[in-house]
């Protein structure tokens, strides 16, 4: 049930305000906090809280943010043997919250220094993994190198193609599962979601926010509904879905079960503040599943 996450680890600098400022406008905020984040670290924490054994391969800086990022991962039972500490600043994400939505600026920092050498050092862990998860907030050459390693070791890959501009079609043959949102899907494939899904049955899963997720099983389109919830902070909902989906696949769920499990976990995650603040434990997800999906 081991999952390896190869990806980013950041410190999120979160600001909340009643209204997004227009260009050139200054507004008052009512929230400020620093919380560990980064798509890789978020997905690692999400899977670990659900009960998977998770290893993280990433880079942080030798600054106070780096220390906090690693401490947080360890506190969430994520193995940090593969987290390198490099000279300079850790990655940060500036997150603006307002009107039930978010706008994010990421500064990669130490994430940009994750190299193939870091992947080689963790070969034994990768070989033993049920699933290896990727995102695209680390150097693309390192992603491609690690994808080759996963294929060499015959380990299934879950790639969450965010930010989408980092994705290339050269990556698709390596992916057992690709999990873009609807916007990312159209950016990547250049066709509408329906056409894209039909090209990659049971491999392309498109997340639809509160409406759930969708894939094509080779014969029909499967829409797996979301769950009713009241959103406090949507930051990290997609990462929670991916971590939970990976946990589901690693524990032997079929595709539809794993997607539904991911939807339930994501619906819980938005009910609390911070990318990782609302990431649920397995029992919470089981209870939400019992309530039944009801978004449609």
Q: Is 275 left (phi over 0), alpha (psi -120 to 50) or beta?
A: alpha
Closest CA to 9 of 86, 122, 123: 86
CA 215/CA 198 separation, integer angstroms = 8
CA 244/CA 57 separation, integer angstroms = 18
CB 138 within 8 A of CB 112: yes
Residues in Cβ contact with 104 at an 8 Å cutoff, skipping those fewer than 6 apart: 93, 94, 95, 96, 235
Q: What one-character-per-residue DSSP string does 151-203 give?
A: HHHT--EEE---SGGG--GGGGGG-SEE--BHHHHHHHHSS-HHHHHHHSTTT
CA 246/CA 87 separation, integer angstroms = 32
CB atoms within 10 A of CB 94: 14
Radius of gyration (Cα) for the chain, nearest Å? 18
CB 149 within 8 A of CB 174: no
Tell me, yes or no, if 239 is annotated catalytic.
yes
Q: Is 231 helix (H, G, I), strand (E, B) or coil?
A: coil
Q: What are the phi and psi torsion angles at 125 (to 5°)?
A: -70, -45
Please state whether the peptide bond connecting residue 163 to the residue before it is cis, i.e. omega within 30 degrees of 0.
Answer: yes
* Catalytic-role residue among 233, 239, 254, 282: 239
Q: Mind telling me the catalytic residues?
A: 239
């Amino acid at each position: 049930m081991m999952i390896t996450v190869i990806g980013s680890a950041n410190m999120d600098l979160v600001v909340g305000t009643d209204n997004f400022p227009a260009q050139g406008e200054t507004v008052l905020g009512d929230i400020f906090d620093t919380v560990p984040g980064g798509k890789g670290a978020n997905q690692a924490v999400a899977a670990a809280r659900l009960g998977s054994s998770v290893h993280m391969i990433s880079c942080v800086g030798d600054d106070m943010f780096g220390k906090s990022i690693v401490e947080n991962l360890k506190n969430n039972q994520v193995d940090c043997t593969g987290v390198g500490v490099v000279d300079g600043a850790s990655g940060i994400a500036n997150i603006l919250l307002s009107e039930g939505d978010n706008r994010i600026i990421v500064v990669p920092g130490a994430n940009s220094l994750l190299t193939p050498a870091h992947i080689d050092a963790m070969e034994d862990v990768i070989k033993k993994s049920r699933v290896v998860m990727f995102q695209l907030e680390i150097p693309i050459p390192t992603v491609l190198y690690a994808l080759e390693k996963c294929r060499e070791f015959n380990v299934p890959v879950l790639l969450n193609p965010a930010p989408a501009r980092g994705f290339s079609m050269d990556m698709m043959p390596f992916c057992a599962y690709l999990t873009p949102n609807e916007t990312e899907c159209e950016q990547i494939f250049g066709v509408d979601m329906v056409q894209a899904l039909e090209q990659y049955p049971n491999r392309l899963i498109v997340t639809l926010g509160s409406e759930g997720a969708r894939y094509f099983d080779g014969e029909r389109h499967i829409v797996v509904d979301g769950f009713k919830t009241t959103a406090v902070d949507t930051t990290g909902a997609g990462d929670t879905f991916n971590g939970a989906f990976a946990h589901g696949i690693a524990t032997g769920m079929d595709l539809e079960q794993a997607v539904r499990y991911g939807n339930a976990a994501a619906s819980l995650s938005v009910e609390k503040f911070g990318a990782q603040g609302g990431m649920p434990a397995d029992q919470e997800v089981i209870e939400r599943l019992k309530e039944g999906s009801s978004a449609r």
